Structures are given as C-alpha cells and as structure tokens.
Amino acid sequence: MNEVRITAQGLTKRYGFLTAVDDLNFTIESGEVLGFLGPNGAGKSTTMKMLTGFLAPTSGTASINGHDIVSDSLSARRCMGYLPEGAPAYGEMTVLQFLEFIARARGFSGQEVGRAASAAMERLNLEQVAAQAIDTLSKGFKRRVGLAQAILHDPEILILDEPTDGLDPNQKHEVRSLIREMSADKIIVISTHVLEEVHALCNRAMIIADGRLLVDDSPQGLLSRSRYHNAVTMLVENAEKIASTLSEMPEARKVEIREGELTVFPAKDASLFAVISDRIREHQWDVKELRLEAGRMDEVFRQITSGEVRK
C-alpha cells in the first residue's frame, strides 16, 4: 500500500492585492473525512482548485500522495476525483457518453470504458437516465452525474466542492450515505456551508475565513467550544421561579430564559444534568422537555468567523 496523504505547505493564492488563500499548512491522512467550513468567499473553493491542479498557487505548494501539485500535476490528478462547485458537465452529451469520456480520460480503454461507466452509474442510481442528455436532467441527477465522474476511477482521494448544495433532503441523505460508505480507506475533503453536514459526515473540520485557517478540530471538539456545550435546556411553566432556584446552585454559572425555554449553563467542568434531574424530582416541577445540549455548531461557527473580524 502506498501512502494516502495530502500535505499543504504555505499554500497561498493572491489575485492582485486580494489574498484569497493565506499560508495554509495542513496534513490529511487516510480515513479522514475533512469538512472545509467558512463563510462565502473564505477561500474554500480556491484551496480545492489548487489541490486539484486547476489553479497554480502563488506561493507554497501541496503534495498528493507524494506528488507535487505544481511540478508533478498529472500524477497528482490521477489519484484524485474532483467534483467542482455546481457539478459542471458537458450538457449536450448523454450521461453514458459523458462518463465514457471521463473513463477514457482516466486511462481506461477497450471494454473497461463501458464497465467503468456502468459501475459508476450503478453506484449513483443513474441507469434510468443513461441515454438522456445531461442538460435535460434535474438538479439532483446532475449532481449525481458529477459525483459519478468523480468516483469513476475509484480514487484514493475525493475532493467535493459543496456536494449537497441545492439538493432536496432525500437527495442530501443519499449523497451523504454514499460519502460515508466510501470513506473508510480514502481521504474525502468536502466543502460546505451546511453545518449539520460536518457533524453528520466528517471526523475533522477546518474553519477558514479570509483565506486563513482559524480552527482545525474534530466536530466534537468544535461543539465543545460552544457555550451551550453540556448546558441543560428545559421547557417548563413558571420558568422565572425555577430559574431563580436553579441559579443558586454552585454548578450553574448562568441561567437564561428564551422563548419559554430555560437554559442552565454549567460552571467550569460541572456536570449539570444529574444535579438538575435531582432538583426536578425534589421540587416536583412539571417539566415538559429536558435535554442536554451537545453544543451549537452555528453558534461556534459565528463566534469563530466573526470574532476574527471584531478583534
């Protein structure tokens, strides 16, 4: 087995005075599903375009399985499957014609071309539209065609730029299960601004804004940065009275009431849930709902990406 690994060293892209990607350094190893997060224009797509050899970095470089993306671009590209943003394709071709073109470009020949194309179609349930022009397909099918061309040569590395953007919930679910199914022995890099996706799919997340890497952590790690992490939220009547009782506990740092929901934030390292359950039983409060918060991804995201600006 050769190593499956992406390393970026000082990867930088400037357009005139605008720095789109600023000195990125990271290593991604086999088995990792990395979510690239960031506001629009943060440099996610530009980074992916550099990794896949579409754009040349202004300075710095990256290597894909040991192949430098600048000096050994073709070898690097062969290890990768890439779904560009918006899943572009040649719309006038049929799905089968298009995938056969990709198969030949990927180095299949003879009968293997057809076999590789049908295997990819089978994987994404595209058989029923094989003879249709891509232009006539719905958005969901087009996205699946894009994914089919990316996985056609069973690459060790998949770079997917917003793979579920614009899909309906069922299609999103399908694409996610496909990614999860493939992730075991590969590197998958996805960019997204759907935060739930990171939690559902990724085992590592990078947040970038203004081209700089701000956070590199696991999704759980990200959640634990939330002030909601390990907080307890309950739905009760006469919330004010209960709030004043609970705020006297040493374990509670703060109590907030928002839209009828009462949230208790823990003091450092305190575990609130058991304590609060005891109180509820003790006081016989009428609690309609009680839950332990894991943390709120959107809050962490906002805190990290906008905090940078305010400071």
- Within the chain, residue ranges assigned H as helices are 44-51, 73-78, 95-105, 111-123, 139-151, 169-182, 195-201, 219-224, 239-246, 272-283, 297-310
Between CA 124 and CA 89 the distance in angstroms is 16
d(CA 145, CA 95): 7
Cβ atoms < 10 Å from Cβ of 104:
14
Residues 133-172, interacting with other proteins (CB under 8 A): 133, 149, 151-154
User: Of 49 and 229, which has the nearer Cβ to other proteins?
Assistant: 49
Which range, of 22-30, 92-100, 249-257, 265-273, touches other proteins by CB under 8 A?
A: 92-100
Binding flag, residue 220, other proteins (CB under 8 A): no
1 binds other proteins (CB under 8 A): no
Q: For residue 278, what is the DSSP state?
A: H
Q: CB under 8 A: which stretch of 57-65, 85-93, 258-266, 296-304 binds other proteins? A: 85-93
Show the binding pattern over residues 50-69: x = contacts other proteins (CB under 8 A), - = does not: --xxxxx-------------
- Options 83-91, 136-144, 213-221, 277-285: segment touching other proteins (CB under 8 A): 83-91
Quick one: residue 88, left, alpha or beta (phi over 0 = left, psi -120 to 50 = alpha)?
beta
Rounded to an integer, what distance in angstroms lies between the CA atom of residue 56 and that of residue 177?
A: 33
C-beta of residue 174 within 8 angstroms of C-beta of residue 200: no
Q: Give the CA-trace dihedral at 189, 194, 200, 205, to 10 degrees.
A: 50
Indicate whether 14 belongs to the interface with other proteins (CB under 8 A): no
Footprint on residues 93-132 left by other proteins (CB under 8 A): 93-94, 97, 101-102, 104-109, 112, 115-116, 119-120, 123
Nearer Cβ to other proteins (30/94): 94
Least distance (Å) between residue 149 CB and other proteins: 7
Residue 257 makes contact with other proteins by CB under 8 A? no
Binding track over 226-255 against other proteins, x by CB under 8 A:
------------------------------
Q: Which stretch binds other proteins (CB under 8 A): 72-80, 166-174, 218-226, 230-238?
A: 72-80
What lies within 8 Å, CB to CB, of 107 at 6+ separation is 78, 153
Verify binding: residue 2, other proteins, rule CB under 8 A: no
Among 10, 29, 41, 90, binds other proteins (CB under 8 A): 90
Taking the C-alpha atoms of residue 187 and residue 203, their distance in angstroms, rounded to an integer, is 11
In whole angstroms, what is the distance from residue 153 CA to residue 160 CA? Answer: 15
The pair of structure tokens assigned to 265 is 């934030």
According to the binding rule CB under 8 A, does residue 47 interact with other proteins?
no
Q: What stretches of 6-138 show up as alpha helix (H) in DSSP?
A: 44-51, 73-78, 95-105, 111-123
Interface with other proteins (CB under 8 A): 49, 52-56, 74-75, 77-78, 80, 82, 84-86, 88-94, 97, 101-102, 104-109, 112, 115-116, 119-120, 123, 133, 149, 151-154, 182
